[in-house]
């Protein structure tokens, strides 16, 4: 096999069966992207413009919605171009850029959900001391650390991958995957594999510890507390738990389908599983949190009513 030390592009092999349905796929993908952008930007604007929502819980939500836009922007424009294109080549720098965007999106998502679980633990278990334990400035520091940690961690991974020598350039996927790109290397990948395993442990273990700690304490309070405390805990934690489980299952699906032989699974289902955590999560979070959080819901209603009144008054 010919070694290519200066690889200029990769070929995405999963688009070869798109055929005449590409315009349908393009329309569905574009509509989904538009909805994701609209709902996430709308909630970011609502939180930023309303002073009553300038609290730690809503700052974490705002960071979550910004991350959904970030991850979606690393996926959907790329998908739309590739769906309509007849030649499914992607330049090596663009491929590595997409890998960086999508993997940092996943890291930020998990860490953000972990910090949100800790915030909910403080609000439920220490309601009287909450404003002291979780201040506005502390929330800003948490958010800054989340983004900085995720970017630095994967910058190291990316720097290790760029130095590799490749023996092929065909990626059997719709998007650039770090695991599949490293598999194409014919140079020594021992350092990449060791750091990759270390990175996976950090990506999972660092968020998992505060999540488990927080929910164990919340459950303890629920069992020992009053009915009102249990109801408050359920209403507060339900959207967070749903988001966490949805994202975890999506990541699990992606790992399974990329690392194991899935030829017996229908091709469309494999594609859906590979992109599930990148498509459903940015759509689910703003809708779920927006509907569940009463302050956000009421603010949206007031803004909508004000706009309707202004339009009718203008007429």
Measure Cα distances from 125 to 49, 56, 214, 233, 241 in Å. Answer: 30, 16, 10, 9, 17
pLDDT confidence band for 166 (50 / 70 / 90): confident
Q: Which of 173, 157, 183, 33 is nearest to 100 (CA)?
A: 157
pLDDT in tens, 284-310: 888 888 766 666 666 666 655 555 545
Strand 89-91 to 170-171 pairing: unpaired
Percentage of the chain lying above the pLDDT 90 cut? 27
Residue 312 lies in a domain: no
Q: What pLDDT is attached to residue 4?
A: 45
Residue 16 lies in a domain: yes
Residue 196 lies in a domain: yes
Q: Within a 10 A sphere around the Cβ of 147, how many other Cβ atoms?
A: 18
Total tally of structural domains belonging to the chain? 1
Residue 315 lies in a domain: no
Residue 147 lies in a domain: yes
Q: What pLDDT is attached to residue 309?
A: 47
**pTM (predicted TM-score):** 0.87
pLDDT confidence band for 1 (50 / 70 / 90): very low
Give CA–CA dist 126/33, Å, rounded. Answer: 39
| Per-chain mean pLDDT for the chain | 83
Residue 4 lies in a domain: no
Q: What is the CATH number of the domain that holds 61?
A: 1.20.1070.10
Give CA–CA dist 32/253, Å, rounded. Answer: 21
Across the range 2-19, mean pLDDT stands at: 68
Residue 177 lies in a domain: yes
Domain that holds residue 158: 9-303
pLDDT in tens, 84-123: 888 888 888 899 999 999 999 999 999 999 999 999 999 8
- CB proximity list for 277: less than 8 A, separation 6 or greater: 106, 246, 247, 249, 250, 251, 253, 254
């Amino acid at each position: 096999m010919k070694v290519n030390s200066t690889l200029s592009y990769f070929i995405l092999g999963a688009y070869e069966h798109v055929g005449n349905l590409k315009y349908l796929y393009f329309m569905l993908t574009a509509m989904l992207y538009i909805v994701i952008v609209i709902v996430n930007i709308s909630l970011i604007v609502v939180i930023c413009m309303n002073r009553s929502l300038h609290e730690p819980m809503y700052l974490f939500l705002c960071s979550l919605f910004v991350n959904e836009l970030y991850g979606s922007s690393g996926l959907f424009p790329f998908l739309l171009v590739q769906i309509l294109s007849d030649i499914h080549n992607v330049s090596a720098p663009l491929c590595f850029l997409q890998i960086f965007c999508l993997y940092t999106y996943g890291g930020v998502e998990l860490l953000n959900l972990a910090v949100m679980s800790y915030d909910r633990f403080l609000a439920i278990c220490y309601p009287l001391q909450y404003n002291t334990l979780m201040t506005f400035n502390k929330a800003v520091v948490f958010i800054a650390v989340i983004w900085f940690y995720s970017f630095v961690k994967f910058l190291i991974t990316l720097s290790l991958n760029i130095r590799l020598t490749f023996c092929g350039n065909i990626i059997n996927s719709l998007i650039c995957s770090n695991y599949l790109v490293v598999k194409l290397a014919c140079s020594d990948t021992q350092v990449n594999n060791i750091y990759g395993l270390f990175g996976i442990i950090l990506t999972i273990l660092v968020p998992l510890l505060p999540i488990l700690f927080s929910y164990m304490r919340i459950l303890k309070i629920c069992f020992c507390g009053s009915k009102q405390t249990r109801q408050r805990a359920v209403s507060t934690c339900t959207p967070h738990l749903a988001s966490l489980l949805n994202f975890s299952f999506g990541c699990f699906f992606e790992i399974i389908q990329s690392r194991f032989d899935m030829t017996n699974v229908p091709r469309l289902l494999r594609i859906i599983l590979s992109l599930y955590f990148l498509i459903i999560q940015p759509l689910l979070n703003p809708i779920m949190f927006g509907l569940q959080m009463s302050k956000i819901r009421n603010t949206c209603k007031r803004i909508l009513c004000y706009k309707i009144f202004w339009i009718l008054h203008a007429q």
